[in-house]
Chain A
Amino acid sequence: MMTTRTTELLVGIFIVIGSASLFMLAMQVSNLSTYSGDEGFEVEARFTDASGLKVRSPVVMAGVTLGRVTNISFDEQTFKAVVKMKIENQYSKLPIKTSANIYTAGLLGEKYVGLLPGSVDDQCEDEKLAAELEGRAPDTQGLECGPQYLAQGTTIEFTQGSLVLEKLIAQFVSQMGSSDSKKDEPEEHP
């Protein structure tokens, strides 16, 4: 018969090891360490093709994950995929003209949303520049001054959807076939 103290000690150690295992599973094995919960602001982008993209796919700029896709829906008016993503609050200075593209990690890997930084689009600066050129006083009335950043509810205007392998091949073949060597157009316009 073991003494009560030894029993209590062993039970204590058992609980500590069990909790440590749970903690290790949470932090080391799962994405909890990179998980920021509901903190963040939501932006929206419309793609002609969002195939392969899933809820919780990463949103990446320069190889760093800034947020996650939170919702994917279909817009019946434009026949486009509406992708909502949540970006962590600390990344609040993303230029308004940032473009969103759907990329593939590796040849057959997961799809993710890649962001490419654009200009901050300061309308006052533009107006001042234009006024200077035209030799008139700048009229900043009704214009948004200061650098513009992505914020809650912003829609990213420049997008490029998923590249589907069959589409690419079809495009390539049709280009080879047609003598008319039309210049590549971006797939997407705002």
Chain B
Amino acid sequence: MRNSIENLGHKGLDFFQRLGRGNILFAHILIGIPGLFLRPSLIIQQVFSVGVLSFVIILVSGLFVGMVLGLQGYNTLVKFGAEESLGVVVALSLVRELGPVVTALLFAGRAGSALTAEIGLMKATEQLSAMEMMAVDPIRRVLAPRFLAGFISMPFLAAIFSAVGVNGGYFVGVGLLGVDEGAYWSQMQANVDYEGDIINGVIKSFAFGVVVTWIAVFEGHDAIPTSEGVSRATTRTVVHSALAILALDFILTALMFGES
């Protein structure tokens, strides 16, 4: 009994220590970001490995999620004779929730874990240490560009996801199930608000981009420099990112859509 309480206390202290280290690292990264704009090639390289390499998985997932939404939405709406509203259902679900959230989850799995593994391995093989000794700050040179790239890429990926999903829903709803094409788009336009829905969705994906890349970069930098430590850090990135995304999504949704 006493042991388990001690254990709990230990874990709690450990958690707060990690949180503190994470915040310090975050501040360091933010300080390093302005200098990056002098060397855009660093950012481009990372946008490539973080954003472009996640493109295909986002494209395919967006298409299928949109198609499933079209199918399920149609089956429910047709019972109320409201299949004209299919466009609204598909677009609102994608733009408000599924676009940013599913993109962030996939991003954590695809790019986040890769970031952690890469940085963790650089630490384990003393590459970060070697950079320090070459008078190159690894936080500015390695971590900051990756963080910024994640921040830039996420809204684009989420937008691609939603846009592809809306077209997937169109394909199923209009193409296969015979919903009126005009109704699909016009109902969508009438009910999806630019500021309230699209912009809020983009804000969400920015927030998720910050959180996921922050966790990924921190776990890599904080990993125990052994192969086991790196693999555990990679797992932690995916788990913690997923939890953080869902919790943050609830908070943001409550703030953005709670009042109306």
**Chains A and B touch (C-beta atoms under 8 A apart):** yes
**In the assembled complex, which residues on chain B have CB atoms less than 8 Å from the CB atom of A34?**
189
Interface residues of A in 138-187 (CB under 8 A from B): none
Q: Are B192 and A31 in contact (CB under 8 A)?
A: yes
What is the CA–CA distance of A24 and B202 in the complex, to the nearest angstrom? Answer: 13
Distance between A113 CB and nearest chain B CB, rounded to angstroms: 15
Question: Chain B nearest CB: distance from A11 CB in Å?
Answer: 5
Contacting pair A18 B197 (CB below 8 A): no
Beta-carbon nearest neighbor of A19 in chain B: B156
Residues of A within 8 A of B156 (CB): 14-15, 17-19, 21-22
Within 8 A of B (CB), among A42-56: 56
Complex Cα distance A19/B189, Å? Answer: 19
* Beta-carbon contact of B160 and A7 below 8 Å: no
Q: For chain B, which range describes its interface: under 10, 10 to 19, 20 to 34, or 35 or more residues?
A: 20 to 34
User: Within the complex, which residue of A10, A15, A29, A33 is in contact with B95, where a contact is CB–CB below 8 Å?
Assistant: A29
**Are B198's CB and A25's CB within 8 A?**
yes
B37 to chain A, nearest CB (A): 16
A22 touches B166 (CB 8 A): no
Residues on A with C-beta less than 8 A from B55 are 14, 17
- Cβ-defined contact, B52 with A14, below 8 A: yes
Query: Contacts of A14 on B, CB cut-off 8 Å?
Result: 47-48, 51-52, 55, 153, 156
Selected contact of A7 from candidates B44, B166, B188, B198, CB within 8 Å: B44
- Assess the B159–A18 pair: CB atoms within 8 A: yes
Question: Is chain B's interface secondary structure helix, strand, loop, or mixed overall?
Answer: helix
Contact B160 A26 (CB under 8 A): no
Q: How far is the CA of A8 from the CA of B45 in the complex (A)?
A: 8
Given A31-B193, A33-B189: A11 touches B47 (CB 8 Å cut-off): yes
> In the complex, what distance in Å separates the CA atom of A32 from the CA atom of B91?
14
Interface string of A120-135 (1 = CB under 8 A from B): 0000000000000000
Q: Is B38 an interface residue (CB 8 A)?
A: no
8 Å CB contact of B185 from A4, A20, A28 = A28
Docked CA distance A21–B163 (Å): 6
Query: Is the pair B162, A21 in contact by a Cβ cutoff of 8 Å?
Result: yes
Interface check B190, CB cutoff 8 A:
yes
CA distance A20 to B190 in the complex (A): 21
Is the beta-carbon distance between A11 and B52 smaller than 8 angstroms?
Answer: yes
Task: Write out the residue numbers on chain A whose beta carbons fall within 8 Å of the beta carbon of B47.
Answer: 11, 14-15
Listed by A's residue number, 13 A-B pairs whose Cβ atoms lie within 8 Å are A11-B48, A14-B52, A17-B156, A17-B160, A21-B159, A21-B164, A22-B163, A25-B166, A28-B185, A29-B162, A29-B192, A31-B191, A33-B189
Enumerate chain B interface residues (CB-CB to A < 8 A): 41, 44-45, 47-48, 51-52, 55, 91, 95, 153, 155-157, 159-160, 162-164, 166, 185, 188-194, 197-198, 201-202
